[in-house]
Amino acid sequence: MAQRPAQPSLRTSKSTPTCRIRCFNSFCSRPSRGWGRSVLSLPICNICNSPVTSVLVSKDGCDVYQCAKCGLAFTYPQPQSLDEQYDSSYFDLYRKRRDFRLKRAHARLCRIEKLHKPGRLLDIGCSLGYFVEAANARGWKAAGIEISSYAAEEARKLGLDVRTGVLEDAGYSSGAFDCVTMWDVLEHVPDPTAHLLEVRRVLADDGLVVIGTPNLGHVAFRIKRERWRHLKPREHIYYFQKSSITRLLAKAGFRIVKPPGWNVRLNDVMTVYGMPDGLEVLSNRS
Report pTM. 0.77
Burial degree of 198 (CB within 10 A; 0-12, 13-18, 19+): buried
Domain boundaries, given as residue ranges, for the chain: 10-76, 85-285
pLDDT in tens, 208-252: 888 888 888 888 888 889 888 888 888 899 999 888 888 898 898
| Residue 185 to residue 182: CA distance in whole angstroms | 6
Mean per-residue pLDDT of the chain: 78
Helix 242-251 and helix 192-202, axial crossing angle in degrees, nearest 10: 50
In whole angstroms, how far apart are CA 163 and each of 85, 146, 228? 18, 6, 33
| Residue 202 to residue 185: CA distance in whole angstroms | 17
Q: Is the pLDDT of residue 159 over 80?
A: yes
| Residue 18 to residue 76: CA distance in whole angstroms | 13
Q: Are 91 and 125 in contact (CB under 8 A)?
A: no
Q: Is the pLDDT of residue 2 over 60?
A: no
Identity (one letter) of the amino acid at 52? V
Q: Indicate the pairing of strand 55-59 with strand 42-43.
A: unpaired
Class of 85-285 per CATH?
alpha beta
| Residue 67 to residue 52: CA distance in whole angstroms | 5
